A and B are shown apart, each in its own frame.
Chain A
Amino acid sequence: MTVAMDEARGDKAKEKAKEEAKEEAKERPKAGEWRMERSDWAAVAAATVVALAVRLWRLSSPAQVVFDEVHFGKFAGRYINGTYFFDLHPPLAKMMFAAAGRVAGYDGVFDFKEIGLEYGAAGVPYVAMRLMPAVLGALTVPMALVAARACGYGLDTAALAALLVCVENGLVTQSRLMLLDSPLVFFTALTLACWAVWWTRQGRPFSRAWWAWLAATGAAMGCAASCKWVGLFLIPTLGLSAAKDLWDKIADRSLSPVRWLAHAGARALTLLGVPAAVYVLCFWVHFAVLRRTGPDSSMMSPEFQAALDGGPRVATDRDVYYGSEIRIRSTNARSGFLHSHAHAWQHEKGSGQQQVTIYGFADPNNVWVVTPGFNATVDMSAGPVPVRSGDVLRLQHKATGKFLHSHNKRPAMAAGDDKKFELSGYGFANFSGDSNDNFVLDILHGDPAMAGSDTHVQAIYSRFRLVHANLRCAVYNSRKKLPKWAYGQTEVNCMLNCMPRMSTWHVEHAEYHPPHAAAQPADVRRAEYRPLGLWAKIWEYNKLMTDTNESLTGDHPFAARPEHWPWLRRGTAYWGGAARSIYQLGNPPIWWASLASLALFAAASAALVLLDKRGTRLRLGGQRARYQSAAGFFAVAWACHYVPFFLMGRELFLHHYFPALWMAIMVLAFSLDLATCRLPPVVRAAVYVAAAAVALHAFHTFSYITYARPWTKDACLRARWLATWDFDCEHTLGGAKATLPLPPTTTDPASVEQPPAGDNDGGEEP
Chain B
Amino acid sequence: MNAREKTAVFYDQGGSGRPPFAGLRLPHKAGGGGSGGFGAYPAADREPARRLGREPGEWPIVAALTVLSLVTRLYRIGRRNNVSWDEAHFGKFGAYYLNRTFYHDVHPPLAKMLVGLSELLAGHNGTFGFKGGHTYPPYVNYTFMRAFNAGFGIALTPLAYLTCRYLRMPREFAAMAALFVTLDNALCVMSRFILLDAPLLAFTALALAMLARFHRARGVPFSAEWWRRLLLVGLALGLVASAKWVGLFAVALVGFYTLAELFEMYCDRRLVPSAYAKHWAARVVALIVVPLCVYALCFKVHFAVLNRYHSSASFMPVGFQTRLRGSPLARQPYDIQTGSIVRLQSRLPGTGYLHSHPHRYPTGSMGQQITGYSYADPNNKWNIQRRAAAGSFAAPADVLATAPAIGGPIGHGDIIALHHNATNSFLHASTGYEAPVSALYREVSAVAADSAEAQARGVLWIVEITGAEPRMSDGRLHPLGTPFRLRSAHGDCTLVSTGERLDKNWGWGQAEIACDPKSGGEGTLWAVERHINSELEPANVGRLMSSSFLRDLAAVNRQMWLTNNALIPDRDKHNVLESGPESWPFMVYPMRMVGWDDSSIKYLEVGNPLLWWGSATLCLLFPAQLLYWLLSWRRRALRWSAGQMREYLEGALMLWGGWALHYLPFFLMGRVTYLHHYLPALYFGILFLAYQIYHTASWYLHPRSARRVLCAAVGLVACVFWWFSPLTYGWDKPIRDLRGMQWAESWPVYEDKFAL
- A: residues with CB less than 8 A from B are 1-8, 247, 250-251, 253, 347, 415, 419, 467, 472-474, 476, 478, 483, 495-503, 610, 613-615
Bound Cα distance from A1 to B211, whole angstroms: 10
Interchain CB contact under 8 A, B266 and A610:
yes
Q: Give Cα distance in the complex from A367 to B646, angstroms.
A: 73
Chain B 721-754, CB-CB to A under 8 Å as 1, else 0, gives 0000000000000000000000000000000001
Check if B269 sits within 8 Å of A615, measured CB to CB: yes
Tell me the complex Cα distance, A646–B642, Å.
Answer: 41
| Any A CB within 8 A of the CB of B649 | yes
For window 10-66 of chain B, which residues contact chain A by CB distance below 8 Å?
none
Q: Is A498 within 8 A of B8, CB to CB? A: no
Q: Are A253 and B636 in contact, with the CB atoms below 8 A?
A: yes
Whether A1 contacts B650 in the complex (CB less than 8 A), given A474-B756, A615-B269, comes out as: yes
Q: What are 30 pairs between A and B in contact, CB < 8 Å?
A: A1-B257, A1-B260, A1-B653, A2-B257, A2-B260, A3-B260, A3-B264, A3-B649, A4-B260, A4-B264, A8-B9, A247-B634, A250-B631, A251-B635, A253-B635, A253-B636, A474-B756, A495-B572, A495-B573, A496-B756, A497-B576, A498-B572, A498-B756, A499-B571, A499-B572, A503-B572, A613-B267, A614-B266, A614-B267, A614-B269
Do A7 and B267 form a contact, CB below 8 Å, given A1-B649, A476-B572, A502-B572? Answer: yes
* Cβ of B228 under 8 Å from chain A: no
List residues of B whose CB falls within 8 A of some A CB: 7-9, 256-257, 260-261, 263-264, 266-267, 269, 504-505, 571-576, 630-631, 634-636, 642, 645-646, 649-651, 653-654, 657, 754-756
Contact present for B634 and A497 (CB under 8 Å): no
Q: Which residues of the partner chain A approach B263 to less than 8 Å between Cβ atoms? A: 4
Q: Are B756 and A3 in contact (CB under 8 A)?
A: no
B260 with A497: CB separation less than 8 A: no
* Given contacts A5-B9, A8-B7, A615-B269, A499 and B754 within 8 Å (CB-CB): yes
A610 to B269, CA, bound (A): 12
The reply to whether A419 and B650 form a contact with Cβ atoms under 8 Å apart is no
Chain B residues contacting A347 (CB-CB under 8 Å) are: 505
Task: Return the chain A residue nearest B648 by Cβ.
Answer: A3
Residues of chain B within 8 A (CB-CB) of A614 are: 266-267, 269
Given contacts A3-B650, A496-B756, contact A419 B267 (CB under 8 A): no
Which single member of B505, B575, B645 contacts A497 (CB below 8 Å)?
B575
Contact assessment for B269 and A497 in the assembled complex, using a CB-CB cutoff below 8 Å: no
Q: Given A253-B636, A610-B266, A613-B266: A497 and B9 within 8 A (CB)?
A: no
Q: How many angstroms between the C-alpha atoms of A498 and B576 in the bound complex?
A: 11
Tell which of B575, B631, B657 has the most Cβ of chain A within 10 Å: B631
Q: Which residues of B contact A498 (CB under 8 A)?
A: 572-574, 754, 756
With CB as the reference atom, state the residue of chain B lying closest to A5.
B9
**Out of A1, A4, A415, A495, which one reaches B654, CB within 8 Å?**
A1
Bound CA–CA A614/B260 (angstroms): 16
Which residues in A have their C-beta under 8 angstroms from that of B574?
497-499
How many Å from the CB of A745 to the closest CB on chain B? 21
Residues of B contacting A472 in the complex (Cβ-Cβ under 8 angstroms): 756
Q: How far is the CA of A247 from the CA of B635 in the complex (A)?
A: 9
Which residues from chain A contact B634 at a C-beta distance below 8 Å? 247, 250-251
Bound-state Cα–Cα, A251 to B257, Å: 28
Task: State the total of A-B contacts with C-beta under 8 angstroms.
Answer: 86
Which residues from B are CB-within-8-Å of A253?
635-636
Which of B571, B635, B642, B645 contacts A501, CB < 8 Å? Answer: B571
- In whole angstroms, what is the CA distance A483 to B504 when docked? 10
Q: In angstroms, how far is the closest chain A Cβ from the Cβ of B215?
A: 8
Smallest CB gap from A348: residue in B: B508
13 additional contacts, CB 8 Å, given A247-B634, A498-B754?
A: A1-B651, A4-B263, A7-B267, A8-B8, A497-B573, A498-B573, A498-B574, A498-B756, A499-B573, A503-B572, A610-B266, A613-B267, A614-B269
Residues of B within 8 A of A415 (CB): 504
Residues of A within 8 A of B642 (CB): 8
**B756 pairs with A497, CB closer than 8 A:** yes
Chain B residues with CB below 8 A from A610, complex form: 266
Chain A residues with CB under 8 Å of B657's CB are 1
Closest 7 CB pairs of A and B: A8-B7, A1-B653, A472-B756, A613-B267, A4-B264, A497-B574, A2-B261
Residue of A nearest to B658 (CB): A1
In whole Å, how far is B618's beta carbon from the nearest beta carbon of chain A? 17
* Complex alpha-carbon distance, A476 and B642, angstroms: 62
Min distance, Cβ A545 to any Cβ of chain B, angstroms? 20
Least distance between A491 CB and chain B CB atoms (Å): 12
Cβ contact within 8 Å between B8 and A250: no
A136 CB → nearest B CB, Å: 39
Residues of B with C-beta under 8 A to A499: 571-574, 754
State which of A2, A7, A247, A502 has its C-beta within 8 Å of the C-beta of B650: A2
Chain B residues, CB < 8 A from A615: 269
What is the CA–CA distance of A2 and B265 in the complex, to the nearest angstrom? 10
Provide the residues of chain B in CB contact with A247, threshold 8 Å.
634
Residues in A neighbouring B9, C-beta threshold 8 A: 3, 5-6, 8
Q: Is the CB of B572 within 8 A of A250?
A: no
Least Cβ–Cβ distance between B664 and chain A, in angstroms: 16
How far in angstroms is the closest Cβ of chain A from B463?
A: 35
Taking the nearest CB of chain B, how far is it from the CB of A374, in angstroms?
A: 19
User: Given the complex of chains A and B, what is the CA–CA distance between A247 and B504 in angstroms?
Assistant: 58
Given A614-B269, A615-B269: A2 in contact with B264 (beta carbons within 8 A): yes
Output the nearest chain B residue to A346 by Cβ-Cβ distance: B505
Nearest opposing residue in chain B for A477, CB measure: B572
B636 contacts across to A, CB distance below 8 A:
251, 253
Interface-centre pick from A496, A497, A503, A610 (highest chain B CB count, 10 A): A497
Given A498-B572, A499-B573, A610-B266, CB of A483 within 8 Å of CB of B505: yes
What distance in Å separates the Cβ of A724 from its nearest Cβ neighbour in chain B? Answer: 18
Interfacial chain A residues near B7, Cβ < 8 Å:
8
A472 to B504, CA, bound (A): 28
Residues on B with C-beta less than 8 A from A503 are 572
CB distance from A236 to the nearest CB of B (A): 18
Cα A94 to Cα B309 in complex, Å, equals: 66
A495 to B756, CA, bound (A): 10
Question: In the bound complex, how far is the Cα of B8 from the Cα of A5, in angstroms?
Answer: 11
- State the Cβ distance, B275 to closest chain A Cβ, in Å: 14
- Determine how close the nearest CB of chain A comes to the CB of B419; give it in whole angstroms: 28
Contact of B8 with A467 in the complex, beta carbons under 8 Å: no
Pair B257/A4 contact, Cβ less than 8 Å: no
Residues of A within 8 A of B264 (CB): 2-4
Provide the bound-state CA to CA distance between A17 and B504, in Å.
70
A591 CB → nearest B CB, Å: 30
A473 with B650, Cβ < 8 A, contacts A5-B9, A497-B575, A501-B572 known: no
A499 CA to B574 CA, complexed, in Å: 5
Cα distance A478–B548 when bound, in Å? 47
Whether the pair B756, A473 counts as a contact (CB closer than 8 A) is yes
Closest to B630 in A: A5
- By a CB distance below 8 angstroms, the chain A residues around B573 are 419, 495-499
* A476–B754 CA distance with the chains assembled, in angstroms: 14
A495 to B572, CA, bound (A): 9
Query: Would B755 and A497 count as touching, CB distance under 8 A?
Result: yes
Q: Are A500 and B266 in contact (CB under 8 A)?
A: no
Contacts of B649 in A (CB 8 A): 1, 3
Hey, which chain B residues are within 8 Å of A251, CB to CB? 634-636
Bound together, the chains give a CA A501 to CA B572 distance in angstroms of 7
- A-side contacts of B266, CB under 8 Å: 610, 613-614
Give Cα A400–Cα B504 distance, bound, in whole angstroms. 30
- B572 / chain A contacts, CB cutoff of 8 Å: 476, 478, 495, 498-499, 501-503
Given the complex of chains A and B, what is the CA–CA distance between A251 and B264 in angstroms?
23
List the B side residues contacting A3 at CB < 8 Å.
9, 260, 264, 645-646, 649-650, 653
Q: Across the interface, name the chain B residue whose C-beta is closest to A497.
A: B574
CB distance from B753 to the nearest CB of A (A): 10
Measured between alpha carbons, how far is A282 from B264 in the docked complex, in Å?
Answer: 51
Q: Quote the shortest CB–CB distance from B673 to chain A (angstroms).
A: 16
Chain B proximity of A607: nearest CB distance (Å): 13
Give chain A nearest CB distance to B220 CB in angstroms.
16
